[in-house]
Amino acid sequence: MTELLFPAGFRWGTATAAYQIEGAATEDGRTPCIWDTFSRTPGAVRNGDTGDIAADHYHRMREDVALMKDLGVTDYRFSVAWPRVQPAGRGPAVERGLDFYRRLTDELLSAGIRPVVTLYHWDLPQELEDAGGWPHRETAERFAEYAGLVAGALGDRVSTWTTLNEPWCAAFLGYASGEHAPGRRDPVAALRAAHHLNLAHGRAVQVLRAALPAAAEVSLTLNLHAVRALSEAEEDREAARRVDALGNRIFLDPVFHGRLPEDLVRDTAGLTDWSFVRDGDLEAIAAPLDSLGINYYSPTVVGAGTSGSPSPWPGAEPHVRFVPAPGPRTAMDWPVDADGLYELLVRLRDELPGVPLMVTENGAAYDDYADPSGEVHDPERVAYLRDHLAAVHRALADGVDVRGYFLWSLLDNFEWAYGYGKRFGIVHVDFASQRRTPKDSARWYADVIARGGLRG
């Protein structure tokens, strides 16, 4: 039997986000973030669910770290809740908030697990949103200050740092389509937000470099779109170009090349002249990184046409139609297609030579449940994970420098606008009792980690 073995030192991880699992929404000085406010907006989140309790990780952290130790993961990617550390988004840190992350990192290190910190996973302090949010330039400066506070507290414990998670979602789902917090529908604000998220990243990199030991790794995580044209027709290829500009190159070009995509500026000329980009911004955004994180779930197929309104694609929506990809689908109605992950990794090998890559999120939601014996069988998730890890192995064989894989997610959690109706975890959470039950996929992943690869 052939085995698909991964390189020695490959980082086997899992990932979570603070608002999705922590709960304790009003404890130890934490104040509301935009998701606390948004989840209380009628109709914004299914069933009116909130993250007030979520998976209660704030109180069950040691139990959750023990689960990870049993899995054998080498790394755990978690986010720090900005309003827990700096409730107003400005000023001194709340030590009680930082203490939670000190305890978490100490617990991880005791278990032999490397902590990987994400500074921003969408929980902007509500006071900063009230002052203008990400469309407002000052928010980028406040983020850099916050980054310094966290680095000062955890820099002696944490060697891998990520500035932002999925700034595309924060900008365009938050400010253009309004599907995510803060629920605004202003395409110009979304474009401004994207630039200021890029700027926040660049400013934070500078702060982290100054505050952390020289050996610390600093990264960014993007949910890059594996964009495919519906056909070779010119109008379909043009639709793909527009989505690639707004979904991918709006971040890749400033971060790695210190420039805005010229075609994006042309596409959005009817909305903005981009005068909010000031001298020195692009140089700051292009601060060198040690790696790039890639989040991937499914491909994006587009053709000529029009998309629905309100759209998260300002400047592209009059020309683009999103087409369902063929094949099986997850409970999120997302197509299952591991080739898209391979395509992205190979593209980045070619476009960003010398930049190590990490798959920082990959996983699937399915309608799994605990059976009468208390077990949770999720064969569809196992198949999904197997296919996507095989795609990573294929990319490695083709010379892509992939350093690790972080499965999304450790726990069933608050799935943003879907509330508690979608389960991504390899550990089932009964939200009424908070009981944790490892699913079949958890045992499968533990076996993959133990053998360092996949059975053939």
Residues 6+ apart with CB under 8 A from 137: 196, 199, 276
Determine whether 231 is exposed, middle or buried from the number of CB atoms within 10 Å of its CB (0-12, 13-18, 19+).
exposed
Is-contact 172 222, C-beta < 8 A? no
Q: How many CB atoms lie within 10 A of CB 102?
A: 15
Give the separation between CA 16 and CA 19, rounded to whole angstroms.
9
Tell which residue, 168, 175, 225, has the closest CA to residue 197: 168
Give the separation between CA 408 and CA 379, rounded to whole angstroms.
16
Catalytic residue of the set 107, 129, 361, 415:
361
Catalytic residue of the set 22, 107, 129, 166:
166
* Half-sphere exposure for 247 (CA within 13 Å, toward CB): 25
> Catalytic: 361?
yes
Give the separation between CA 275 and CA 252, rounded to whole angstroms.
20
Give the separation between CA 124 and CA 135, rounded to whole angstroms.
12
> Catalytic: 22?
no
Catalytic residue numbers, as ranges: 166, 361
